[in-house]
Amino acid sequence: KFQDTVVIAGCGPLGLGMVAAARVNGAARIIALDLSDERLVVAQRTGAHLGINPKKEEAVKKVLDLTDGYGCDVYIEATGHPAAVEQGLMMIRKLGTFVEFCVMREKVTVDWTVIGDTKELNIHGSHLGPRCYPVAIQMIEQGLLPMDEIVTHRLPLTEFQKGIDLVISGLTSVKVTLEP
């Protein structure tokens, strides 16, 4: 919403879509978090005002400093990594909205006292509901998503294994497509 500080953790294809959606919905400040500097550059071209690499900077401290200690209004977790959940709980404001947008690779344990008593958070689960596809297609049609930057690799189907290796490494690719 207007005046919200929105943090999106994870700048893969889904996270970048969330960056663009936050921009379209009028968020006052959009902060992207990712371990890849290259992905942070794409996030800024997609609409993020700031990119933070948690390997290089104290992301929680930086977000709290930027919000005068208040914390972000909305935290969208799109990494699939348990550490991003904990990070979000530390940087989100009281009565904030936490959106879990990714499938976790492993079980995540959180302190429900922080969620329920300390911060009274609104928690939303979201993973590509049927209404997301028409919105995503419309955003692509309107040029709101820089697909030429999100699709970083186009490979022939015969290079399937190379495509898988690029995705697994996650260092130089955002979205890999295979073409017949």
Reported confidence tier of residue 131, pLDDT bands at 50, 70, 90: confident
Confidence at residue 128, expressed as pLDDT on a 0 to 100 scale: 62
Tell me the whole-structure pTM to 2 decimals.
0.90
Residues 6+ apart with CB under 8 A from 176: 151, 152, 153, 155, 163, 166, 167
Lowest mean pLDDT among 45-54, 77-86, 96-105, 157-166: 96-105
Give the sign of the dihedral formed by CA 26, CA 29, CA 33, CA 36: positive
If asked whether residues 103 and 168 sit together in one domain, one would say no
Confidence at residue 174, expressed as pLDDT on a 0 to 100 scale: 87
State the residue range of the domain holding 167.
146-180
Question: In angstroms, rounded to a whole number, what is the distance separating the alpha carbons of residues 158 and 148?
Answer: 22
- Is 19 among the domain residues? yes
- Is 138 among the domain residues? no
Q: Count the Cβ atoms, other than its own, within 10 Å of residue 121.
A: 19
User: Which ranges of the chain does DSSP label H, i.e. alpha helix?
Assistant: 13-24, 37-46, 59-66, 82-91, 112, 132-141, 147-150, 160-169
129 vs 152, more confident? 152
For residue 15, the domain's CATH number is 3.40.50.720
Q: Are 139 and 116 in contact (CB under 8 A)?
A: no
Q: Provide the domain count of the chain.
A: 2
Plot region of 170 (φ>0 → left; ψ -120 to 50 → alpha; else → beta) = left
